[in-house]
Amino acid sequence: MSTPQDDPAQVIRGLVALTKKQIIGQDAAVEAFALETYSHIALSPLRHRPGVFLIAGPNVEDDHLDLIGGLVQSQKNLGGLYKLAGNRGEDLDHIFSSSPGATEGYSLLQALKDSPDGVFVLQDIDQAHLHIRMSLEWIWSHGHVVDEAGELRTLADAVFILTTAVAQDQIGEIARTDPDPARLHVECLKALVDAGFPASLLRHVDFAFGLKRLTTGELMRAYYERLAALVASHGLVLEEGGLDARILLQVIDPTTEPTARDIMLPWDSLSDRLAQIKTAGAHMVRLIVDDEFIRIVPIGGLTPQWVVDAFVAVAPVPSADGEATDE
């Protein structure tokens, strides 16, 4: 977790880097999210109300939740995740019960009392019961809850992340054509109101982030560029045509055979293996799918036996006499 003494620009860069490990092809939204949420955190001592942020647009493979990954890893603890759409017949009012047996383990009201500086994710906020929406709006306006002892528990350090599937196709197209965060914020709000999103909720939103719609080709290209950049960051070169096409195919279709486990965003594991193979003297590499793993294969300079598994520890290469040696 960062401290007030940390350089804000450095903290934001770190937040962006962490979040990009979670989500592909949404760099504009990632950078805007990092800037706006960290700005709230940095200024929270001067504020009297929590931060309220809305994520809209396409939600492919839970992109809405992936956008908050860096925030809860480096800046804030996750206070709770609440699915407000609910199941048929479910009494959503119990989310504001003071008893511990409510949605996602215990009630949002109790979670706010226990973790008044946490991140609270409210999925499908537009589908929340009217009573819940009114209670949330009161909390956002007044910036506190009252605990069992009758004491005010300030929520100025809390961050609420709202998500919605309303107008996701329209917002996805808007984000493609106008990535400017300030204009996209306004256009998102307009599109949501036009689509019937409760306007009273939007009055409390500090910033709205719209994820853009990605074509299959754009998603594959973004993944390729991210992998190539990771390789280059270790002083290595990705061989021309050196990324196994099956890796890219599984990005868009996880059922493609052979399946490589954890193929999406294995950045830390790949980074460790790339560092090892660079130390061993490699200059150029290719990435292949082999035995259900992404493997790193050096091109020239090392023996063909040095094939580095991206997900398990590297074993020394056996010599001709059967003893392990380091290449």
123, 83 Cβ separation under 8 angstroms: yes
Distances (CA, A) of 123 to 71, 74, 85, 274: 17, 22, 7, 37
Distances (CA, A) of 278 to 45, 126, 132, 177, 227: 46, 50, 55, 40, 16
The count of other CB atoms within 10 Å of the CB of residue 123 is 21
| Amino acid, single-letter form, for residue 75 | Q
pLDDT tens for 63-122 read 999 999 999 999 999 999 998 886 444 555 567 765 544 344 468 888 898 899 999 999
Domain borders along the chain are 8-210, 216-325
pLDDT tens for 128-170 read 888 889 999 999 999 998 877 778 889 999 999 999 999 999 9
Rounded percentage of the chain residues whose pLDDT exceeds 90: 50
64, 211 Cβ separation under 8 angstroms: yes
Distance of CA 230 to the CA centre of its chain: 18
| Amino acid, single-letter form, for residue 238 | L
Any bridge partners for residue 207, and if so which?
53
* pLDDT grade for 301, boundaries at 50, 70 and 90: low
Helix (H, G, I), strand (E, B) or coil at 243: strand
Helix, strand, coil proportions of the chain in percent (round to 5)? Answer: 45, 20, 40
CA dihedral in degrees (257, 258, 259, 261; nearest 10)? -170
| Amino acid, single-letter form, for residue 142 | H
Domain 8-210, CATH: 3.40.50.300
Give the phi and the psi of residue 172 in degrees, each rounded to 5. -60, -35
* pLDDT grade for 316, boundaries at 50, 70 and 90: very low
57, 168 Cβ separation under 8 angstroms: yes
Give the phi and the psi of residue 143 in degrees, each rounded to 5. 75, 25
* pLDDT grade for 292, boundaries at 50, 70 and 90: low
User: Are β-strands 51-56 and 159-163 bridged in parallel, bridged antiparallel, or unpaired?
Assistant: parallel
Helix (H, G, I), strand (E, B) or coil at 203: coil
Q: Is the pTM of this model over 0.85?
A: no
pLDDT tens for 196-241 read 999 999 999 999 999 999 998 998 899 899 899 999 999 999 999 9
188, 174 Cβ separation under 8 angstroms: yes
User: Are β-strands 284-290 and 119-123 bridged in parallel, bridged antiparallel, or unpaired?
Assistant: unpaired
